[in-house]
């Protein structure tokens, strides 16, 4: 299954870029290039859902 999320990417005054995803609370990324910021954000989103999945599985009886 594949899902699409919104990525908001902005420049940082000190240099580089930061990215957020409004659909995934707390998912943020950063990088020297837009591509690095997108990849960083993608990793944050993946970690978010891996953590949620672990929480769900922990609560299921065997």
Residue spans per domain, the chain: 8-58
End-to-end CA, the chain: 25
Residue 61 has pLDDT above 80, yes or no: no
Q: What is the pTM assigned to this prediction?
A: 0.83
pLDDT tens, residue by residue, 20-34: 999 999 999 999 999
In degrees, rounded to 5, the angle at the alpha carbon of residue 53 between the alpha carbons of residues 50 and 55 is 110
Burial state string for 13-52 with b = 16 or more CB within 10 A and e = fewer than 16: eeeebbbbbeebeebebebeeeeebbebbbebbeeeeeee
Looking at the chain, the whole-number percentage of residues with pLDDT higher than 90 is 74
Residue 12: per-residue pLDDT: 96
């Amino acid at each position: 299954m594949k899902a699409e999320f919104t990525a908001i990417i902005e420049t940082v005054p000190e240099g580089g870029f930061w990215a957020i995803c409004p659909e995934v609370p707390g998912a943020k990324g950063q990088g020297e290039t837009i591509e690095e910021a997108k990849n960083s954000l993608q990793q944050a989103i993946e970690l978010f859902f891996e953590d949620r999945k672990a929480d769900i599985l922990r609560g299921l009886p065997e």
